[in-house]
Amino acid sequence: MSINLNADTILSCNSNESGVTYTWLYQGSKSLPLGVSIMRENHIAIIGADPSNVGTFTCVINKNGQQAASTTNVTIIPEKAHVTSVVASPNPPQTGHRADIHCNATGYPYPSIYWSYTDTMGMTYMPISTSYLDTTTVRIENFQPSLHGGAWSCIARNSLGVDRLSIIM
């Protein structure tokens, strides 16, 4: 079964006989991963699917010492990298003050985030007094329109593709 990243889904295990019990296994263990819970004895819910939910789920049906098993292999559907937003904080940035630029991206495998800056003259480089808080945020300590004005582009890349979204400062 292939499911979308962050999707919710239900796995069911049914028997036509009465008096049966059900045991759920993940990768052969009774320990279910985070985000997976038993809803009813014969149903489990995967809430907000992520890579930790990928693997084999087995439902073991027990009746009077007899067992039958049904397995489902769960995978996450690959998705091209996509930049969903690039936001400045504060917006608009104030001259002489700190400004952060945040990037949000989706995709599976999870995309790597890169930044590009093109000034008002068309030159691409990383200006002074700029640092990365993490890969999703660029911090400008002392915003100066003459130094930091231009297009800030967030680039998201995974094995399926590249996406870019810019904000003009």
For the stretch 61-102, pLDDT in tens is: 999 999 999 999 999 999 999 999 999 998 888 999 999 999
Architecture of domain 2-76: Sandwich (2.60)
Residue 129 has pLDDT above 80, yes or no: no
Instruction: Give the neighbor-by-neighbor strand order of the sheet with 2-3.
Output: 2-3, 66-76, 55-63, 21-26
| Annotated domain spans of the chain | 2-76, 79-168
For the stretch 132-147, pLDDT in tens is: 777 889 999 999 998 8
Q: How far apart are CA 95 and CA 142, in angstroms?
A: 7
pLDDT value at position 125?
Answer: 77
Same fold, 2-76 and 79-168: yes
CATH code for residues 79-168: 2.60.40.10
